[in-house]
């Protein structure tokens, strides 16, 4: 059950997208997410959709994994689009029943909003699926470095993020182990009312808490032993460097974004 969580999971690979510099990935994925909102008619949205689908195939990760990521917010997508469909009033009424009115404009709008949500999930999954957590935080650290000037402890924040990400799978594994151990002692986690279920969590949470503290102390000692003193003067094993493929990816995304702005002018906007 716990192993089913796919959002934010890194899937190692050797595709073009995997090999991109993580900073460039963050930059172009952010640009794409912004342009998902700027695509306002069928042509520009079509271009966006095509571009993202091709990129998705380029990652060589099974589309099934992306669908699994979508499954988590499936309800949200359907719910918002139904609400949008019913609330947005346009001029062309397609269907009316008591106080429900469905208009052509409303229908388009809700389709666009659903499409946007799906695209955002796919784009962000693409980033986390193809980038290891360490690369991701290294890139964030580098991109946020200018904030050092205004005394934001960028390195420390990045280190905290790295550690947090690093320990998510460990903690999940630990939780599963403790759950199994308590189940082996007959703990009943699946039945009973709210209170009973909340109480049933105590035998799991307490050992989990204790082991988290233990791990934290051990990690702190291990870092001290290796003379960790923070970001100052620290160099990296793998220095991030932009290569030709990063420039290529940048140009491609820039072209797609330009295309979206141009296509927006060709037909009236279907969404506000």
Partner 1 sequence: MALIETQNLRYIYGKGTPFEKVALHGADISINEGEFIGVIGHTGSGKSTLVQLLNGLLKPESGKILLNGVDIWAKPKEIRKVRFAVGLVFQYPEYQLFEETVYKDIAFGPTNKGIHNKDELDAVVRRAAEFAGLKESLLEKSPFDLSGGEKRRAAIAGVIAMEPKVLILDEPTAGLDPKGRDRILNQIKKYREQTGSTVLLVSHSMEDIARVADRVLVMNHGNVEMFDTTENVFKQGEHLAEIGLKVPQVTQVFLELKKLGADVDTGVYTMEQAKAAALAYLRGAGTEGGNA
Region of 185 on the Ramachandran plot (φ > 0 left; ψ -120 to 50 alpha; else beta): alpha
Question: Half-sphere exposure (CA, 13 Å, Cβ side) for 182?
Answer: 18
Query: Per rule CB under 8 A, is residue 203 in the interface with partner 1?
Result: yes
Q: For 265, list phi and psi in degrees, rounded to 5.
A: -80, -15
Choose the stretch contacting partner 1; rule: CB under 8 A; options: 160-168, 184-192, 221-229, 246-254: 184-192
Q: For 97, list phi and psi in degrees, rounded to 5.
A: -150, 120
Total residues interacting with partner 1, rule: CB under 8 A: 20
Choose the stretch contacting partner 1; rule: CB under 8 A; options: 43-51, 88-96, 98-106, 183-191: 183-191
For partner 1, the closer of residues 120 and 200 by Cβ is 200
Minimum distance of partner 1 from residue 210's CB (angstroms): 7
The site map against partner 1 for 218-237 (x = CB under 8 A) is --------------------
For partner 1, the closer of residues 183 and 245 by Cβ is 183
Inter-residue contact 129 to 56 (CB < 8 Å): no
The rounded distance, in Å, linking the Cα atoms of 111 and 118 is 11
Query: Per rule CB under 8 A, is residue 162 in the interface with partner 1?
Result: no
- Residue from 54, 76, 147, 210 in contact with partner 1 (CB under 8 A): 210
Query: Per rule CB under 8 A, is residue 3 in the interface with partner 1?
Result: yes
Minimum distance of partner 1 from residue 97's CB (angstroms): 42
Region of 186 on the Ramachandran plot (φ > 0 left; ψ -120 to 50 alpha; else beta): left
Query: Per rule CB under 8 A, is residue 177 in the interface with partner 1?
Result: yes
- Residue from 156, 188, 218, 224 in contact with partner 1 (CB under 8 A): 188
Query: Per rule CB under 8 A, is residue 56 in the interface with partner 1?
Result: no
Strands (E), 92-219: 93-97, 100-103
Query: Per rule CB under 8 A, is residue 185 in the interface with partner 1?
Result: yes
Query: Per rule CB under 8 A, is residue 202 in the interface with partner 1?
Result: yes
Minimum distance of partner 1 from residue 252's CB (angstroms): 28
Inter-residue contact 23 to 143 (CB < 8 Å): yes
The rounded distance, in Å, linking the Cα atoms of 255 and 244 is 16
Question: Half-sphere exposure (CA, 13 Å, Cβ side) for 233?
Answer: 3
Query: Residue 201's closest CA among 190, 215, 217?
Result: 190
For partner 1, the closer of residues 9 and 124 by Cβ is 9
The site for partner 1 (CB under 8 A) is made up of 3, 11, 62, 177-178, 180-188, 202-203, 206-207, 210-211
């Amino acid at each position: 059950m716990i192993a089913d969580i796919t959002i934010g999971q890194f899937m190692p690979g050797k595709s073009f997208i995997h090999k991109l510099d993580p900073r460039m990935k963050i930059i172009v994925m952010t640009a794409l997410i912004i342009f998902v909102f700027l695509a306002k008619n069928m042509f520009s949205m079509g271009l966006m959709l095509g571009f993202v689908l091709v990129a998705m195939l380029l990652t060589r990760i099974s589309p099934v994994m992306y669908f699994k990521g979508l499954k988590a917010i499936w309800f949200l997508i359907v719910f918002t689009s139904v609400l949008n469909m019913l609330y947005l009033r346009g001029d062309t009424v397609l269907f009316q029943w008591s106080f429900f009115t469905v208009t052509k404009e409303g229908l388009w709008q809700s389709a666009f909003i659903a499409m946007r949500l799906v695209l955002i999930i796919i784009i962000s999954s693409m980033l986390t699926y193809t980038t290891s957590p360490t690369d991701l935080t290294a890139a964030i650290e580098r991109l946020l470095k200018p904030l050092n000037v205004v005394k934001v402890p960028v390195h420390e924040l990045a280190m905290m993020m790295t550690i947090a990400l690093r320990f998510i799978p460990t903690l999940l594994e630990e939780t599963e182990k403790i759950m199994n151990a308590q189940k082996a002692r007959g703990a009943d986690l699946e039945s009973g009312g709210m209170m009973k279920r909340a109480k049933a969590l105590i035998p799991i949470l307490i050992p989990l808490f204790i082991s988290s503290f233990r791990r934290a102390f051990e990690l702190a000692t291990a870092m001290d032993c290796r003379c960790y003193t923070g970001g100052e003067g620290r160099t990296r094993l793998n220095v991030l460097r932009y290569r030709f493929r990063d420039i290529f990816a940048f140009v491609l995304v820039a072209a797609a974004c330009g295309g979206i702005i141009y296509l927006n002018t060709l037909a009236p906007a279907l969404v506000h």
